[in-house]
């Protein structure tokens, strides 16, 4: 059975105080959320502890945005699996295009981070997707095939979420057409050995397009950036029809 997973990626937004303020608005609107939808808030490291305390193991899960592959050591600025687990974290985003683009993340380090997440019992959300240039050159399928084949070496697919995030659709308002996202996600599914992996779409998901996206048969959820910062908007996304 494929689980529906709707995750907010707050990126480098919200102080601890702002995260708690968000929860106040968000929780009030979540009472009617269908039980079978997994809802995750992927917050900055500094807000994880406060979020976990307020959510104490309820319907909404806490996620991080990165994890180092070693358990400890001389890795200035990094964070380990043990540190995340201690804070009540359940999910972790790995290989987001912003980390690949700005922080030198490679398929090899993405694979190592995925392995570390699984070793610590965290569910990784692996992000894959093509640039505009690659799409225009007709390379979408090849790029994604290569990312998956390298990122997923020795990864247990029964504890994994994949997010298809076309880079040209991130933060641009230029959402990938729902049918096209469905097509690419279908291709991603063909490359996975476990048919039950949840595959999300990410890239300019908004309250106004979530219903269309979630109506697609291959799409099992969404990874939401900007629109997850607003409690009412994100509640509307979680409560898609
Ligand atoms: O990068 C994203 C989620 O990880 C998508 O961001 P936006 O929803 O702001 O386009």
Residues designated as active site? 96, 165
Nearest to residue 41, comparing CAs of 114, 90, 79, 99? 90
Q: What are phi and psi of 68, to 5 degrees?
A: -85, 155
Given ligand 1 and candidates 202, 213, 237, which is best to mutate, with the most ligand atoms within 8 Å of its CB? Answer: 202
- Structural domains in the chain, CATH included, are 4-238 (3.20.20.70)
Q: Give me the residues paired with residue 127 across strands.
A: 163
Residue ranges for the known binding site are 9-11, 171, 204, 225-226
Residue 31 confidence class, pLDDT cut points 50, 70, 90: low
Average pLDDT over residues 205-214: 97
Distance CA(86)–CA(89), nearest Å, equals: 7
Residue 36 confidence class, pLDDT cut points 50, 70, 90: confident
Residue 30 confidence class, pLDDT cut points 50, 70, 90: confident
- Percent pLDDT > 70 in the chain is 98
Residue 122: CB within 6 Å of ligand 1? no
- Dig out the tokens for 233 from the structure: 């908007």
For position 209, what pLDDT does the model report?
A: 96
CB 212 within 8 A of CB 178: yes
Q: What is the pLDDT of residues 58-79, one digit of tens each?
A: 789 999 999 999 999 999 999 9
Q: Collect all residues with Cβ–Cβ distance below 8 Å to 30 and sequence separation of at least 6.
A: 39, 59, 60, 235, 238
HEC profile for 152-221? CCCCCHHHCEEEECCHHHCCCCCCCCHHHHHHHHHHHHHHCCCCCCEEEEECCCCCCCHHHHHCCCCCCE
Q: Take atom 6 of ligand 1 and give the residue whose Cα is closest.
A: 225
Question: pTM for the full model?
Answer: 0.97
Distance CA(132)–CA(21), nearest Å, equals: 36
CB 193 within 8 A of CB 219: no
pLDDT score of 112 more than 70:
yes
A 10 A CB-CB count for 41 gives 24
Residue 225: CB within 6 Å of ligand 1? yes
């Amino acid at each position: 059975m494929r689980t529906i997973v709707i995750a907010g990626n707050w990126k480098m937004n919200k102080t601890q105080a702002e995260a708690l303020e968000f929860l106040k608005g968000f929780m009030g609107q979540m009472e009617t959320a269908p039980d079978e939808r997994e809802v995750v808030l992927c917050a900055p490291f500094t807000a994880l502890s406060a979020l976990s305390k307020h959510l104490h193991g309820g319907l909404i899960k806490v996620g991080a945005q990165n994890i180092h592959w070693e358990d400890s050591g001389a890795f200035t600025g990094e964070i380990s699996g043990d540190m995340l687990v201690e804070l009540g974290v359940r999910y972790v985003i790995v290989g987001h295009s912003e980390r690949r683009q700005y922080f030198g993340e490679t398929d090899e380090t993405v694979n190592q981070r995925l392995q570390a997440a699984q070793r610590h019992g965290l569910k990784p959300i692996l992000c894959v997707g093509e640039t505009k240039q690659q799409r225009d050159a007709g390379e979408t399928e090849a790029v994604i095939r290569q990312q998956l084949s390298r990122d997923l070496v020795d990864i247990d697919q029964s504890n994994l979420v994949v997010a298809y995030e076309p880079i040209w659709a991130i933060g641009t308002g230029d959402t990938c057409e729902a049918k096209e996202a469905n097509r690419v996600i279908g291709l991603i599914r063909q490359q996975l050995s476990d048919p039950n992996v949840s595959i999300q779409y990410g890239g300019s998901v908004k309250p106004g397009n979530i219903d269309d996206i979630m109506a697609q048969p291959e799409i099992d959820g969404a990874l939401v950036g900007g629109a997850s910062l607003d409690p009412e908007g994100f509640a509307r996304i979680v409560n898609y029809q």
